[in-house]
Structures are given as structure tokens and as C-alpha cells.
Amino acid sequence: MLKDRRVLLGVSGGIAAYKAAEITRSLIRENCQVTVVMTRNACRFITPLTFQALTGRPVATELFSGTEAPVPHISLAKWPDLILLVPATADLLARTASGRANDLLAALILAAEVPVLWAPAMNTHMWKNPLTQENIKRLVAAGHAFVQPGTGELACGDIGEGRLADNGEILDAVRKVLITKGKLSGYRILITAGPTREPWDAIRFLSNRSSGRMGYALAMEAGRRGAEVSLVSGPVNLAAPSGVRIVNVNTAREMYDVVMPEFPETDIVIAAAAVADFRPAEICQGKLKKYPAQSAIPLEQNPDILMEMGRRKQKQILVGFAAETHNLVPAGIAKRKAKNLDLIIVNHASGPEDAFGAEAARVLLIDDSDAVRELPRQDKHQTAAIILDQLEELLSAKQAKQ
């Protein structure tokens, strides 16, 4: 999604300057073109040679360098699609907010007509200082964007807000700025992910092996493409995708209560959660003791969320998942028809192709004409991209009919 986008990475003089090298590597992995500009103080923390080796491009440090470009701050300002400032110090914030152009980086920010994204890093007291916050307000009013710093132990030993945001958060912010008009912009997508847990007593529950990785990958990819994403998640051990609204639930009934009121205003629903079909009919208070042994657990059926959405479907595109151990194609087709789905993704649920808890999966995509597309075993983020490609085609076909 960021292929050939031009990012000018501005590095200013803070202890977090070394982390800009990893950001550079990550941008290059995303197939961005990266040019680095450093302040003089940044060069005291990390050398220009490091960034030159990573990018394969010269690193600019001086306002008047005697290079082929006689006015480097103007030529550099015209080059990028985005100016990314990592780390952004309180000094650079103050100079830019006051319109100063007393070094190359400050001058090109002033001369640029492209989005500017700041990733601040500084001592927590400097960050919270009213003067710094006022500078941020002025820059936001001028159209600049910010990645909020994290909280934790700082280089000086203080603990608080001011740490440079995580690499993933910065990259997600870059994507959000550069991919503002993706094909899914303006669409509302509701995604369910992970397992549900149905309590048996105060300690035990009925559940399954779903990791939630597929649903989270779909949410991240949909957000990258400009969609407004709501992620309703069962209990998982995954970080929430940046820019995605997330609602955490435990049981199938809790998921039902969140999903169904949102369904009428949603354009696409991707039901990737592994929702328990049954729950214990009674929840024992406290811990159920081993003796006397209980030979059976009476069960009752959970609401079938996907079936109910299929019944109520009007304008929505509805996508479901199936986990099967054998006869994948006929089982997938039967479930797609029974639940009125536009697309179903069928996972292997056993053997070497088992998708549960795995980072990779080999899946089948079955559309509303029962055409089957088999994907190779690959990372779930790659699978998510292909699924969303197919959904974009469905949206285009739907619009053409209207």
C-alpha cells in the first residue's frame, strides 16, 4: 500500500534518534522511498552514514551545503509525499510553531506543501509543559498530525509520558496519512475476532483455540484502506490495531449484544470470530469441586450471530468463516447458503494445515456463485489483503448494478 511513496524522515537531536534507524528500515520494507534530513544535534547521537547505508541516498544536514542543489530546503521540500519527524524534540516543535527556519530541517518543514507527521520524544516534564502543548495546538491548527508519545521509563530515569511511540504505531500513522483515499474510504466495516469463553464455574470455561490473528489482520488491512473499522474481539493476546475502534467481549451473548445493534448501519461485516455454539446451562457459583464428580455438563445453544445477520441482511455484504476438518468445499458451500453469505472463507481445523492459533493458513474462498478459490499457505496478513481485494471487487460490482 505504500509502494513508491516518498517519505522525508527528519531526525532531530534526542536520545531516541537511534530508533529512527529502525523506522527507516520499516519504511523501506514497505517499499517506500526514504530520504533522511538530520539536525546538527541529531548527528551527535547517530551518524548520517547509518542512514545513508540504510536508504542508499545522501543524508542532508546543512542549510547551505554547497551541493548541486543551491537551495536544498526548497528542492527537498518539493520531493516527498510526507515529512515524518522522528524523534521530534521540544526545540524543533517550538521553532516550527514560531515559523523559524534557522536550520535545514526547520526550513524545509516551513517550505513544504505536503502532510507533516510528528512523533515527539522528550522528558515528561518538557512534554507536559504548557508551552510545548501550546506549540502542538498551533501545529495541529496548521494541519500537522501527531503520534502520541508512549508512557514508561525515560532515558533520564523519570517515569511518565514522553517515550517515542512504538514502531508499529508510527507506521500505522504513516499509512493513515498517506492512504486517505483508499477504495474502502467512507465504508463502515464490522469485524469479529477471536474465541468466546462460556463460563462453567468461577474458574473454568468452554472455549476453542482461536488466536484472533485473522480478524485482527483483517481489521488492520481494512483500516489501511481507509475504512471506518469496528473490531469486536473475544479474549486474545494481541495488540489492538491502530486507528480501529475495538470492543472487548467474552461470551457469545455479549458479542451478539454488541454486534446486532451496529449491523443496520454497517456496509460490510466480516465474522472471523470462532463463536461457541453452546454454553453451560447453569454457571456454578464458586469453584466446582472434583468430588463428587459431575459426569455431564448440561448445555444450551448460543445465539447464532451470523445466521441472524443473514436473515436481516439488506444492503450489507456479509462474510463468514468456517473451520472444517474434512469435506471443506461442500461444508463451506452449505454454510454460505444456510447463512445467506456473500463470501465464506474455509479454514483447515486439523492436521498440518491447521489454521487455529497459527500465524499462517491455507484457506478456500467461496463466493455467492459457489466459485472456489484456493489460496496457498501464507501469513494471515497476506490472506487478509486478498480477502479485502475480493471485497473491493464485490463493492464495485454492487455499485455498477445500482
**Cα dist. 7→77, 131, 296, 311 in Å?**
11, 29, 62, 47
The answer, yes or no, to whether the previous bond of 87 is cis (omega within 30 of 0) is yes
The answer, yes or no, to whether the previous bond of 80 is cis (omega within 30 of 0) is no
CB-based contact 149:137 (threshold 8 Å): no
Tell me how many degrees the CA angle 51-57-63 measures, rounded to the nearest 5.
Answer: 85
Q: And the C-alpha cell for 3?
A: 509502494
Number of Cα atoms under 13 Å in the Cβ half of residue 196 = 26
Chain centre to alpha carbon of residue 235? 18
Tell me how many degrees the CA angle 171-176-179 measures, rounded to the nearest 5.
Answer: 110
384 CB-near residues (< 8 Å, 6+ apart): 214, 217, 218, 220, 221
**Cα dist. 106→10, 39, 63, 114, 116 in Å?**
9, 9, 9, 14, 12
Torsion of CA 308, 400, 346, 254, to 10 degrees: -30
- Closest to 53 (Cα-Cα) out of 66, 36, 39: 36
**192 DSSP β-pair partners:** 232, 271
CB atoms within 10 A of CB 143: 8
What positions carry a catalytic annotation?
156
Residues constituting the chain? 402
Torsion of CA 27, 36, 95, 174, to 10 degrees: -10
Q: What are phi and psi of 38, to 5 degrees?
A: -120, 145
CB-based contact 322:347 (threshold 8 Å): yes
CB-based contact 46:19 (threshold 8 Å): no
Q: And the C-alpha cell for 162?
A: 514522553
Q: What is the DSSP letter of 3?
A: T
Q: Which residue has the cell 468466546?
A: 196
